[in-house]
Amino acid sequence: MNETICTSPESKHSTSTVSVFLAFLACLSVCLWPYPDAGARGLFPVILAQSTLSLKHVIFDDKLQNNWSDGSVKCKLNPEYDEWIPNGAYALGATLEKGGALVFDRGIAMDIRGYSGITGQISGGKRGKQLVGICVIDFWGKYLPNKTGLDLRKYTRNGALPADDWTTFAVPFKDCGPLPRGIKAICFTNASGKAIDTFYMDDFGLTTAAMKSHTVGKDTRTTKGGNSGRPRKRGPVKVSYVFKDKAENGWQYTWSWGASLKPKLIAPGKAVLVARQEPFGGCACGRKKPFSTRGYGRLVFSINGGGRDDQKLRVVLFDKAGKEIREGSVNLEEGNFIEGGSISEDKWTTVSIPLKSLKGMNRNITKIAIINNSTGIQQFLIANVRFTE
């Protein structure tokens, strides 16, 4: 909201006071930078690591919109969850009983011609890994592709509803099979056969953007044995943290050259790493005992441009002898490694690098380095550094 400050002679003192106050807020924002996993609200809303495909028809953003309403069954719904959100004021929390479903109901069928599918932000909450299906109801009342729905995990970036994190999901309409031109409802079903922990959604709606299809006209549920249709439980996603509020699993952040890498506490028990780099300087997390990447497939972390969007960064691993694996060095801006395509100057986004690209598959490594690949000074923030499947 733009505000006009009176500059008449009678209000000079007031103008000066307001200017000083605004300058104070600007300084304070540097100290309380938004953190992707923190539950802070107030002056500085939390901005998380994922970016949703462009929404052309909003269903939920702070509240239900565009004539959509709650039609859920066996579901405890919290439409004003505000402790840990990606954007805005509220996210939506849903706790499903056995056989329950979170249902967005429009009543009168909506014409979906021109839309490619459904997208939004989702989080598994404290535990994650919920088995959730997604289906639509056409204007005849038929569930498509079926009442249990598509396995939502297959349509998330990391193949699961993450614990203590948010991710983007994108479900193309064509995976639900041949659709009529209108739908009456969108359902998120409990496909586990028992009650599941609360999951959260935000910035949810329909998009016209291109989407990856996992199957066309088929049920993508994970099943066990023939056509039993019973969901098979997926084991825990393998994750090993390098930094999550503090250095973990023997990693330290003391190896740097022409740069500094320091933790910054932004809330009780919550921290990020602040990096400042001279031209071609680098900062690294390292450990004395080599870390085996066997069983892991990606290096993932959250990054915030710290007020700039022109960072040129290179990521490289070091082998068990402490030597740089040069042939595996990757420039972030040149590959498809950054969610949304680029580092944002003021929002958190996720970097996900296949270890295959880093030449780090099934190797023992001692350091992970981020190097300034430019002739200028760079400063940015990183958090939640981890190896995943």
pLDDT in tens, 113-139: 899 999 999 999 888 889 999 999 987
pLDDT(264) > 80: yes
pLDDT in tens, 221-233: 433 333 333 434 4
Domain boundaries, the chain: 57-207, 239-388
pTM above 0.85, yes or no: no
Lowest mean pLDDT among 7-21, 56-70, 157-171: 7-21
Cβ contact 135:176 at 8 Å: yes
Q: What pLDDT, on a 0 to 100 scale, did the predictor assign at position 89? A: 82
Q: What pLDDT, on a 0 to 100 scale, did the predictor assign at position 387? A: 93
- Which range has highest mean pLDDT (99-108, 210-219, 249-258, 325-334)? 99-108
CATH superfamily of the domain spanning 239-388: Galactose-binding lectin (2.60.120.430)
Exposure of 91 by Cβ count < 10 A (0-12 exposed, 13-18 middle, 19+ buried)? buried
Q: What pLDDT, on a 0 to 100 scale, did the predictor assign at position 142? A: 87
What's the CATH number for 57-207?
A: 2.60.120.430
Lowest mean pLDDT among 37-51, 73-87, 109-123, 229-243: 37-51
